[in-house]
Structure 1
Amino acid sequence: MTPRHQHLLRICREALVGGWTAQSTGEKLLTALILNRGDWLSEMGYTMADAIDRVGLDWIALIPDVAKTLREEGQIPDTIPTLRSSATTQ
Structure 2
Amino acid sequence: MTDHVLIQIVSKARHAREGGFNVLSTGEKLAAALVLNRADWLASMNYTLAEAIERVGPGWLARIPEAARILESE
Q: Comparing both chains, which one has the higher relative contact order based on Cα–Cα distances under 8 Å and sequence gaps of 6 or more? A: 2
User: Aligned letter for 1:23?
Assistant: L
User: Aligned letter for 1:2?
Assistant: D
User: Aligned letter for 2:9?
Assistant: L
User: Aligned letter for 2:58?
Assistant: L
> 2-side partners of 1:43 and 1:18: how far apart?
15
Instruction: Give the TM-score, by structure 2 length.
Output: 0.90
1:22-70 deviation per Cα after TM superposition (whole angstroms, max 9, x unaligned) = 3110000000011000000000000000000111111100011101111
Q: 1:12-27 residue pairs with structure 2 within 5 A?
A: 12-27=13-28
The count of residues paired between Structure 1 and Structure 2 equals 73
Tell me whether 1:39 sits opposite 2:40 in the alignment: yes
Q: Which residue of 2 aligns with 1:49?
A: 50
* Percent of residue pairs identical: 47
Q: Which runs of 5+ in 2 are unaligned?
A: none
Report SS of the residue matched to 1:19.
helix
Q: Which of 1 and 2 has greater Rg? A: 1
Instruction: Give the TM-score, by structure 1 length.
Output: 0.75
The two structures, once aligned, show a CA RMSD in angstroms of 1.1
Report SS of the residue matched to 1:5.
helix
